[in-house]
Structures are given as structure tokens and as C-alpha cells.
């Protein structure tokens, strides 16, 4: 049975900002990359535990998307009881490690 994928408001804002930063509205390649990122996020509905836990917090996992030097981390938690994946933050992989207040 598939998991529901829920994008938290913070992660939604991260996606909106990323869309603007890569100018996806003006570039076919950027739009394709962005659509691939969204597809990768939605793929968490199947086997969400396939991705490693984050070094910052053992209750969170991260999906890595892209090629160096443009790798993005999709930070999420899996709620087994609800069969739900909560995407809480999306950030460039080269950024410093996050702190829990960064996710609010």
C-alpha cells in the first residue's frame, strides 16, 4: 500500500523559491529538472524508507536529487502509523547541516 506524501508549508515555500531561482518558467531544461525533483519527491510514496537517515536527526531521512554540484536534499519524516511521508524542508546539499529550528 502506498504512503501519502504531504508537503509541509516550509517545504512548499522551498519549492517555490527554488522554481524562481532556477528560472524554470523561462527554461525548458530548468523546468524538466524541477519536474524531475517533484517526481522524485512523489516517488517517496513507494518505499520511503529506502533513503538514509539524516546525520542531524535520526528521526528524519533525506532524498538526494541532482548531480554535483547541484544536489538538493529533500528532508522528510515517515509516519508508519498513518502511512504518510511528511516533506519538511528542501535545501541545497552544499549548505551547512540544518538545525531543528531551521525546519520551522
- Supply the CATH number for residue 31's domain: 3.30.2310.20
Count: domains in the chain: 1
* Lookup result for grid cell 525546519: 103
* pTM of structure: 0.87
Taking the C-alpha atoms of residue 89 and residue 104, their distance in angstroms, rounded to an integer, is 9
- The string of pLDDT tens digits covering residues 44-92 is 999 999 999 999 889 999 999 998 888 999 999 999 999 999 999 999 8
Structural domain including 97 reads 4-103
Amino acid at each position: 500500500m502506498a504512503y501519502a506524501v504531504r508537503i509541509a508549508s516550509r517545504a512548499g515555500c522551498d519549492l517555490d523559491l527554488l522554481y524562481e531561482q532556477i528560472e524554470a518558467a523561462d527554461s525548458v531544461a530548468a523546468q524538466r529538472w524541477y519536474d524531475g525533483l517533484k517526481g522524485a519527491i512523489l516517488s517517496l510514496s513507494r518505499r520511503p524508507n529506502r533513503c538514509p537517515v539524516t546525520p542531524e536527526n535520526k528521526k528524519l531521512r533525506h532524498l538526494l536529487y541532482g548531480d554535483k554540484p547541484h544536489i538538493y536534499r529533500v528532508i522528510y519524516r515517515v509516519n508508519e502509523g498513518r502511512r504518510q511521508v511528511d516533506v519538511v524542508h528542501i535545501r541545497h546539499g552544499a549548505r551547512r547541516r540544518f538545525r531543528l529550528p531551521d525546519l520551522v
